[in-house]
């Protein structure tokens, strides 16, 4: 670990930070919503297979690129490149990832702002400011702007403080809090009337749907979004890990945490919908499918919390705080991608670079907020449906086809003496070279 550029001070620091990036609105909102809309446990099964067979190998590729390069995404990829065309290609891939992270942050921050506004609503209610409470959950332009700015301010505040004092310290604080809130909420919800029906809907697979192409595309997109792939984030987090650490195991642990939290979130959200139904809330759309997307989080669930009286105020508060924390540990990772680039390639001071890039991204967010009806979905689509799979695929191409094989194997061996006997050693390099790029490309082309 190069001390001058900072790095994670401990293994647990890295795990919390990388899991913090991975676990976000994608897990707690996206995963249960997709599950509800795609045949319940059939989606869960496909998701698990794709997360471990495609997303994990691609995730390892990004971590290894970063740890080898000990630098931002562009510099790391260029260190692996020997020929001039490879260096240009490295620039395109690395910078593409940085742009992708910035675009995701520009819309993610808006949605995270909504989560914060729903978290403060019960607080205003309790202190008797009911008109403010009503206002913070309207789609008012000023409200959207205010909470987006607030959320970006928090993200910038943490990233300005650096890797150890910012990312690592805050991830270590926030992740356990988030997990505790999640578990408490699950315990509460599964004990309510109607929850068992929800558990059944969640855990009984409709096997006939497992091979549906659309389901495969959604599950892969979800897995890539969830592991923050194709955004330079895992490259830069990989670059902050010590060469003494066993990356193969660390990567597997982070993947396992990410998948487990998505699974737990399903245990909360889907039973909660059926509890809401037992309270008389409509949870099926006109076409018979479960209500998903923003109406689930901002209509069905708040109606459920309202129906619970005083307790509902507290549960609603806890739920939206959970969402906000999950979003914050992800948003800081998105900002670190461009900031590390500006600091290392353009010699900017960290504080200055963070504030400047934070402001630029905030400006994009403001443009989106003002044109929310069409721009939110558009930017989300460009960044997550096109940007992420393409960049993640190109990272696999880099590892498989451009990186010198002996250098790659040396990097895998660091901190891991027995790796040569493992399945990872035998399978992963070939798998990443041939299977991953083709499989990602196939799913991507289908999604078009």
The full DSSP string for 40-52 is: BHHHHHHHHHHII
Distance CA 425, CA 406 (A): 13
Q: How far is the CB of 156 from ligand PFF (least distance, A)?
A: 16
Q: Among residues 290, 295, 286, which one has the least CA distance to residue 277?
A: 290
If the CB atoms of residues 74 and 104 are measured against ligand PFF, the closer one turns out to be 104
The full DSSP string for 84-141 is: HHHHHHHHHHHHHHHHHHHHHHHHHHHHHHHHHHHHHHHHHHHTT-HHHHHHTTS--H
If the CB atoms of residues 334 and 412 are measured against ligand PFF, the closer one turns out to be 334
The answer to the question of residue 361 lying near ligand PFF (CB under 6 A) is no
The answer to the question of residue 22 lying near ligand PFF (CB under 6 A) is yes
Distance CA 141, CA 162 (A): 33
The answer to the question of residue 394 lying near ligand PFF (CB under 6 A) is no
Give the sign of the dihedral formed by CA 326, CA 328, CA 331, CA 332.
Answer: negative
If the CB atoms of residues 233 and 272 are measured against ligand PFF, the closer one turns out to be 233
Pick one of 56, 118, 225, 237: the residue that binds ligand PFF (CB under 6 A).
Answer: 225
CB atoms within 10 A of CB 418: 9
263 and 257 Cβ atoms separated by less than 8 Å: no
267 and 186 Cβ atoms separated by less than 8 Å: yes
If the CB atoms of residues 148 and 416 are measured against ligand PFF, the closer one turns out to be 148
Range in contact with ligand PFF (rule: CB under 6 A) among 181-189, 220-228, 266-274, 306-314:
220-228
The answer to the question of residue 18 lying near ligand PFF (CB under 6 A) is no
The answer to the question of residue 34 lying near ligand PFF (CB under 6 A) is no
Q: How far is the CB of 28 from ligand PFF (least distance, A)?
A: 8
The answer to the question of residue 101 lying near ligand PFF (CB under 6 A) is yes
The answer to the question of residue 231 lying near ligand PFF (CB under 6 A) is yes
* DSSP type of residue 290: B
CA 240 from centroid of its chain's CA atoms = 19
Give the sign of the dihedral formed by CA 356, CA 363, CA 161, CA 260.
Answer: negative
Range in contact with ligand PFF (rule: CB under 6 A) among 25-33, 243-251, 374-382, 404-412:
25-33
Pick one of 25, 103, 269, 318: the residue that binds ligand PFF (CB under 6 A).
Answer: 25
- The contact set with ligand PFF (CB under 6 A) reads 21-22, 24-27, 101, 104, 225-226, 228, 231, 233, 330, 333-334
């Amino acid at each position: 670990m190069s001390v001058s550029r900072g790095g994670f001070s401990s293994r647990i620091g890295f795990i919390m930070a990388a899991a913090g990036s991975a676990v976000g609105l994608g897990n707690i909102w996206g995963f249960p919503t997709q599950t509800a809309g795609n045949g319940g446990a059939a989606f869960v099964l496909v998701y698990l297979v794709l997360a471990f067979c495609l997303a994990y190998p691609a995730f390892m590729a990004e971590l290894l690129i970063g740890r080898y390069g000990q630098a931002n995404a562009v510099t790391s990829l260029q260190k692996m490149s020997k020929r001039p065309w490879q260096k240009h290609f490295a620039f395109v891939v690395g910078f593409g990832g940085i742009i992708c992270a910035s675009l995701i942050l520009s819309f993610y921050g808006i949605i995270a702002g909504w989560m914060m506004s729903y978290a403060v609503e019960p607080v205003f209610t309790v202190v008797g400011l009911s008109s403010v409470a009503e206002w913070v959950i309207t789609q008012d332009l000023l409200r959207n702007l205010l909470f987006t700015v607030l959320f970006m301010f928090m993200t910038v505040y943490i990233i300005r403080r650096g890797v150890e004092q910012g990312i690592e310290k805050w991830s270590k604080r926030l992740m356990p809090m988030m997990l505790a809130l999640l578990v408490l909420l699950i315990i509460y919800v599964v004990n309510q009337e109607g929850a068992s029906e929800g558990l059944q809907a969640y855990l009984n697979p409709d096997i006939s749907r497992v091979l549906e192409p659309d389901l495969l595309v959604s599950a892969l997109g979800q897995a890539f979004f969830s592991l923050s792939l194709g955004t330079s984030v895992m490259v830069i987090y990989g670059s902050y890990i010590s060469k003494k650490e066993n990356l193969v195991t660390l990567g597997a642990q982070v993947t396992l945490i990410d998948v487990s939290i998505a699974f737990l979130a399903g245990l909360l959200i889907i039973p909660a919908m059926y509890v809401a139904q037992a309270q008389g809330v409509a949870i099926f759309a006109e076409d018979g499918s479960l209500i998903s997307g923003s109406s689930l989080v901002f209509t069905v669930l708040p109606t459920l919390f309202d129906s619970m009286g005083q307790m509902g105020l507290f549960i609603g508060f806890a739920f939206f705080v959970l969402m906000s924390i999950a979003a914050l540990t992800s948003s800081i990772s998105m900002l670190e991608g461009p900031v590390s680039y500006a600091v290392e390639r353009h010699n900017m001071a960290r504080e200055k670079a963070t504030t400047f890039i934070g402001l630029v991204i905030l400006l994009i967010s403001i443009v989106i907020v003002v044109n929310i009806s069409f721009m939110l979905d558009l930017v989300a689509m460009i960044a997550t449906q096109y940007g992420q799979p393409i960049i993640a695929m190109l990272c696999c191409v880099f590892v498989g086809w451009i990186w010198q094989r002996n250098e790659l194997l040396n990097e895998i061996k660091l901190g891991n003496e027995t790796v040569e006997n493992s399945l990872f050693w035998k399978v992963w390099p070939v798998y990443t070279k041939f299977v991953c790029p083709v499989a990602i490309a196939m799913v991507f082309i289908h999604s078009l």
